[in-house]
Amino acid sequence: MTREEALFQFLLRLGDNTLVLGQRVSEWCGHAPVLEEDIALANTALDLIGQTQLWLNLAGEVEGKGRDADKLAFLRDVWDFRNLLLVELPNGDFGRTMMRQFLFDAWQSVLLGRLMNSAEPRVAEIAEKAGKEVAYHVERSSGTVVGLGDGTEESHARMQAALDYLWPYVGEMFAPDEVDEEMARAGIAPDPAGLREEYDALVGRVLDEATLRVPEGRFFHRGGKNGARHTEHLGHMLTQMQWLQRAYPGASW
């Protein structure tokens, strides 16, 4: 794998994470428990889709085959997606959506902080822009996790169930492969394993305050970031997300 090929894959991972999560979160539009949360979720989704445009346009530029963010988002099939399995999981209830958001926001905030010092200036400037938005996201999602975790008996039980369900999808964030090794060698991105300590400290602090317990066990699901084994949920999501471009190729407004 050349450095350019690895960079392309790395950028797809960043852009597909925000794209798939942005699409998932936008599914809440009009369905959230209260109006304020509905608006907050839609705004979070909007930020994520905006970040997607930056990452995937850069990916297309690096690839050099004339694909832009729209082409990459709407004209690839499941096996070409490079997002973490965590973000493609169905929303579940509001609590599970917010727990997933928090687990992802925390990781993104740590990662973007490091990417601001990337040897690739085009990566560093996107990280700087997105980092400000993500700092705001993590403030909200951690606050909601604490509010619901340390809330009523019902909300606590739901948040603990959400954490138990989602935790085995966290490990994939920190498992390096040849793309990550090449990025680390080039000084473009940090070794993912090196983010774990900061992540665990941040997540641990919030979950403690939320009176939630991190499940035991080291097992984790993998296969999203290299596209080898997505869950069955991603394909269903893409049928909705890509429907218009598949039915009416090239349609625009």
Partner 1 sequence: MSRPSVEQVWQWLDGVPDPEIPVISLVDLGIIRDIAWTQDTLQVTVTPTYSGCPATTLINRDIEAALRARGIEKLKLVRRLSPAWTTDWLSEKGRRRLEEYGIAPPQPSGSPARCPRCGSDRLEKISQFGSTPCKAQWRCLGCLEPFEHFKCI
219 CB neighbour count, 10 Å cutoff: 8
Out of 61, 70, 133, 150, the residue judged to bind partner 1 by CB under 8 A? 133
Q: How far apart are CA 90 and CA 34, in angstroms?
A: 20
Asked if 26 is part of the footprint of partner 1 (rule: CB under 8 A), the reply reads no
Ramachandran class of 227: left when φ > 0, alpha when ψ lies in -120 to 50, beta otherwise: left
Scanning 44-52, 93-101, 152-160, 186-194 for contacts with partner 1 by CB under 8 A, the matching segment is: 44-52
- Using CA atoms, how far residue 57 sits from 121, 187, 190, in Å, is 15, 21, 22
Judged by beta carbon, residue 193 or residue 244, the one nearer partner 1 is 244
Scanning 46-54, 175-183, 196-204, 206-214 for contacts with partner 1 by CB under 8 A, the matching segment is: 46-54
Q: Contacts for 180-183 with beta carbons within 8 Å, 24 or more apart?
A: 180/10, 182/1, 182/3, 182/6, 183/6, 183/7, 183/10
Judged by beta carbon, residue 118 or residue 160, the one nearer partner 1 is 118
Q: Which of residues 61-100 bind partner 1 (CB under 8 A)?
A: none
Asked if 50 is part of the footprint of partner 1 (rule: CB under 8 A), the reply reads yes
Between CA 83 and CA 91, with CA 85 as vertex, the angle to 5 degrees is 105
Q: How far is the CB of 94 from partner 1 (least distance, A)?
A: 14
Scanning 47-55, 180-188, 224-232, 239-247 for contacts with partner 1 by CB under 8 A, the matching segment is: 47-55
Asked if 201 is part of the footprint of partner 1 (rule: CB under 8 A), the reply reads no
Question: Helix, strand, or coil here: 228?
Answer: coil
Q: Could you tell me how many residues of this chain bind partner 1 (CB under 8 A)? A: 27
Residue tagged 């690739």 (tokens):
120
Asked if 136 is part of the footprint of partner 1 (rule: CB under 8 A), the reply reads yes
Q: Sign of torsion, CA 172 173 174 175?
A: positive
Out of 33, 75, 90, 132, the residue judged to bind partner 1 by CB under 8 A? 132
Determine which helix (DSSP H) or strand (DSSP E) holds 85, and give its type and residue range.
helix 85-88
Scanning 136-144, 147-155, 221-229, 233-241 for contacts with partner 1 by CB under 8 A, the matching segment is: 136-144
Q: How far is the CB of 54 from partner 1 (least distance, A)?
A: 6
Scanning 93-101, 125-133, 189-197, 199-207 for contacts with partner 1 by CB under 8 A, the matching segment is: 125-133
Return the closest-CA partner of residue 179 out of 197, 194, 193, 191. Answer: 191
Asked if 47 is part of the footprint of partner 1 (rule: CB under 8 A), the reply reads yes
Q: Residues interacting with partner 1, by CB under 8 A?
A: 36-37, 39-40, 42-44, 46-51, 53-54, 124-126, 128-133, 136, 139-140
